[in-house]
Structure formats: structure tokens, C-alpha cells
Amino acid sequence: MKHVLVVGGAGYIGSHTAKALAASGYEPVVLDDLSSGHQWAVRWGPLVRGNMTDRRLVTDVIQRHRIGAVLLFAANAYVGESMLDPRKYFENNVINSLSFLHALMDSCVSDVVFSSSCATYGIPADLPIVEEHLQRPVNPYGESKLFVERVLHWYGRAYGLRWVSLRYFNAAGADPEGEIGEEHDPEPHLIPLVIRAGLGRHPYVEICGTDYPTPDGTAVRDYIHVTDLADAHVLALKYLLEGGKSTAINLGTGRGHSVKEVISAVERATGRRVPVRDAPRRHGDPPALVSNPEKAFELIKWRPRFSSIEMVVETTLRWYLALPRAREVVHTASTV
């Protein structure tokens, strides 16, 4: 099996994973409506522009490209936005995913790697978080991801669907070779926002919450480099194709960094002071989320290579400095 359908492959994590798939000998076929992804990020296989709810299109793509497995990324993924507009999150992340899975099973494709989230755990009772930790989401984003995880479980029992749910912690960084990276408008993620402020492209960065029960009062997150996430998807796919049992796996480093620590790392990388402004906590944000990644180490033989906070900041900084030029790269893969 060499042809893999990457749903949402024009997005941040999906595009990095398409590159990793190609490097491992697969042909990534990207299905993306480009509502938030970028055509310039699809460089390692064909792009099919369309929505995953279009069952006729999904069936045609699977047959025409002889798809053997699927990586499902397409979803809305911002905690704060989900608190303000839960309807959007349940429609896009749940209803649309169900429609796609039904088309997938009707086409006799049974292997799925699903992009899930540590947000399914909610406010953890213990750190670091293991996969068996109780899942009690505190925001609609996490709730939507958990719902799809449960669907995969029951569809596996009833219909033989085989799956791996990868529960990301905080994706960050950019391709170390500088070919692709993160670009959102508006940008919701901390590290790009801190870099923008450090480069003088924004007057300040907000610290959302300085009174958390953490060592310096700011929220703590486990930052995982996007290239390491991409590698984990390839390893999870190989695990499934070699007969591995359906399961959920955390993807993180096992080490957390606070907002203030991230700001300090950016100041070291840029040699500039980052202007900050204190702001209230965001609704739905736990004080700390840190992974126990041992299952990923043991089961799919994955180890993060680029996820030091220094490498995450360095690759993000290089990407933002090169972004105007990188955005102009012409998409050369076939669009069908």
C-alpha cells in the first residue's frame, strides 16, 4: 500500500505529515477545501480540492488513487473559539467526520490515523498524563475530539475499522528545512505570537492568566515539534498496516514549559525584549498539560528529535523571517 489519503493535508500538521509520508515512500493524496489550509503547502503529491463531506468525491478519490489508508486531520482546533462557537466545532469536527468515515467504510478502507488532542483529558488529576487518564473535556474542542474517538472505538467493534488516535499536546515549530511552516489568520498560537512581538510586528503579546497554580503563575504546556508529530503519524500508519491493534497514543515530550519560559526562549533567540501585557485567563484552559509519552516510545518506536524549546523557537523564527518568500512558492503537484 503506497497511496495514503491525507484529509486536511494543506494545513499546518497535515502538510508536514505529507512531507514525512513522501520521504517514507508513500504517495500522500491531499483532500482539502483550502478553507484554512494553503495550496502552497501541498508539495509532495496531488491535491484534491473539495470537502470531506462530499461522499461522491471521497469515493471517487479513493477508487481513482487506490487509497489504502487515511490520515484524518481536517477539523477546527482552537480552544477559545470553541467556547464562543461550539456549534461550529460539533458540526465540523463531529458531523463532518462522521460523514467522511461512512464514505470511507463504504469504500472498504479500514485503516485510519486520527488527529486527536490532549484536550480530551480536561483538567488532569495527575501529571504527566497517561492514556488511561479519565477523559473529561472542559471545552467543546476537546469534547468534539473525544466524540470521534468514541465513534472510532464502536465502529471498530461493529465494522472492523482499525484506528490509532494520536492525542497531541501543543504542536509548534516549523520544517527544519524551511519548506513549510505555520500561517494562520488570525494567529492563535503562543510561540508565533511571541515571535511576532519580539520582531516588532506586533506591539505586545498577551499573557492570558498569571494566577495559575504553576511555578510562575502562567499556564504550562508540553510543546511538541510539528516534524516530530509528522514522524509519529508515519510510524502509527506502519503500526496499523503491520497488524497493530487499535489504540490511542499520547504525543508529547514529557516536559512542560510555562508561557514565561517560552517568552524567555524567544528573547534568547532574537536578542530582543518581548513586550508583554497581562490578560485574564481564557475560558476552557487547564493550568498545565504535560504528556507521559512512554506508550509512543514503546509501541510505535517514536522518539522526538526536534522538540527542545530551543529548536521549536529557532525553526519557527526562521520560518517567520522567510515567510513572505516561502508563500510565493508555486504549487507544482497535480490538482484534480
Q: Which residues are catalytic?
A: 141
Q: Kind and range of the H or E element at 70?
A: strand 69-72
Is residue 235 within 8 Å of 295, Cβ to Cβ?
no
Separation CA 258–CA 260 (nearest Å): 5
The dihedral built from the CA positions of residue 44, 314, 299 and 153, taken in this order, carries a sign that is negative
How many whole angstroms separate alpha carbon 93 and alpha carbon 166? 15
How far apart are alpha carbons 180 and 31 in whole angstroms?
18
Contacts of 146 (CB under 8 A, 6+ apart): 116, 120, 135, 137
Residues 6+ apart with CB under 8 A from 61: 5, 29, 31, 48, 67
The closest alpha carbon to 171, from 66, 75, 282, 27, belongs to 75
The CA–CA distances, whole Å, from 267 to 162, 260, 274 equal 45, 11, 6
Question: Cell numbers 523557537 label which residue?
Answer: 313
Distance separating alpha carbons of residues 91 and 71, to the nearest angstrom: 20
- How far apart, in whole angstroms, are the C-alpha atoms of residue 139 and residue 269? 33
Per the CB < 8 A criterion, the answer to whether 133 and 251 are in contact is: no
Residue 300 half-sphere exposure toward CB, CA atoms < 13 A: 31
72 Cβ contact list (under 8 Å, min separation 6)? 7, 8, 97, 100, 112, 113, 114, 115
| DSSP letter, residue 92 | I
